Structure 1
Amino acid sequence: MISESKIIVRYQETDQMGIAHHSVYPVWFEVARTDFIKKLGITYSEIEKMGVMLPLTEVTCKYYKGTRYEDELTVTARVLSVSPSRMTFGYQVFLPGEKRPVSEGTTSHGFVDSGTFRAMNLKKRFPKLYQDLFDSIELRDAGG
């Protein structure tokens, strides 16, 4: 499954050159990740109420082309990998009508118990959630 989220670059997200600051791309990734989870049929807050937290363990971002104030962007999110203890999302940011992303990146997350913050085995504790995440993985086509 690939989720798409619409973002409009806000003035406060730009730097003195009028280009979206590099620091906002991970924020846009979070918007896309939250939308992705909703499209699975559950919300982040519901996952947290189950006692599962997904702390960020790594973020990457590559920038290919700048975006500017009021640009209308599409941020795609997909699960790249999932194991019983962690998962990785992949993201791409597109300008309208362009096939090549202006940016792409990843975030990696661990599954931890919200009470103890100890790592948990999601597959054992919440097998349906684990399976839904696992089943959402799509392989990129050869051109992608």
Structure 2
Amino acid sequence: MSRRRLVTDERVGPKAGLTRAAHQRVIYADTDRMGVVYHATYLRYLEYARVEYIRGMGFAYADLERLGYGLPVIDLAVSYVAPAVYDDLVSVWVTMAKLSPARITFVYRLTVEPGDRHAFEGPEPIEVLRAETRHGCMGLDDLRAARFPDEVYPLLEARWDALGRE
């Protein structure tokens, strides 16, 4: 069984372990009347990347649910930096920023990389959004706070350790 220590890192940035977990092509349904991605649409992009990031650790979010646990968002912070527009290919970068036996925090950076916008020829990515989500582990049977199950927490710790976090 794991030691279940509290781990945290404030050094999160593009060079601190962010992984491109997803690409998301902007479709018309994602945009508002101004032709830019509607602000709430980005939350779907974050969820998609988070689920794929977790899958990359060796288990699917659906596996967590089969074990009787959920991972609801309990806090969300978003900074909109620049708009994404129709047909952009948005790269969603994500990593863990904090981990405890019952909570996990992810940070995200969304970019449009050079060549992923047909009208964009610059050498540097366009930063679109920065975000952070905090999640609490919850038992699905009683909807109460819970610790991560023993089948899952060691996988989270292993990823944390691989990131070089203390």
TM-score range, shorter chain: 0.7 to 0.9
Q: What is the aligned partner in structure 1 of residue 131 from structure 2?
A: 105
1:15 & 1:51 partners in 2: Cα distance?
A: 37
State which of 61, 73, 76 in structure 2 corresponds to 1:56.
73
**Cα distance in 2 between the residues matched to 1:102 and 1:139:** 27
Q: 2:63 aligns with which of 39, 42, 46?
A: 46
TM-score (norm 1): 0.87
- Would the aligned equivalents of 1:5 and 1:75 in 2 still touch at CA under 8 Å? yes
Q: Distance in 2 between matches of 1:3 and 1:130?
A: 22
Q: 2:111 aligns with which of 80, 94, 102?
A: 94
Give the aligned residue type for 2:156: L
In the TM superposition, residue 14 of structure 1 has moved relative to its aligned partner by 0.7
TM-score, length-scaled by structure 2: 0.76
**SS of the residue aligned with 1:116?**
coil
How many angstroms apart in 1 are the aligned matches of 2:23 and 2:109?
Answer: 12
Partner of 1:33: 50
Aligned match of 1:81: 98
Match of 2:11 in 1: none
Give CA deviations for 1:65-119 in whole Å, capped at 9, x if unaligned.
Answer: 1110010110011111111111111111010123452111011110111111111
Going by fraction, where is helix more abundant, 1 or 2?
1
For 2:135, the aligned partner's letter is: H
Q: Secondary structure at the match of 2:155?
A: helix
Structure with bigger gyration radius: 2
Residue 139 to residue 26, structure 1, CA distance change in 2 (3 Å): farther
| Secondary structure of the structure 2 residue equivalent to 1:31 | helix
Give yes or no for contact 2:21–2:50 (8 Å, CA) kept in 1: no
Unmatched 5+ stretches in structure 2: 1-16, 115-123
SS at match of 2:131: strand
Distance 1:73 1:25 in 2: 10
Shift of 1:132: 1.6
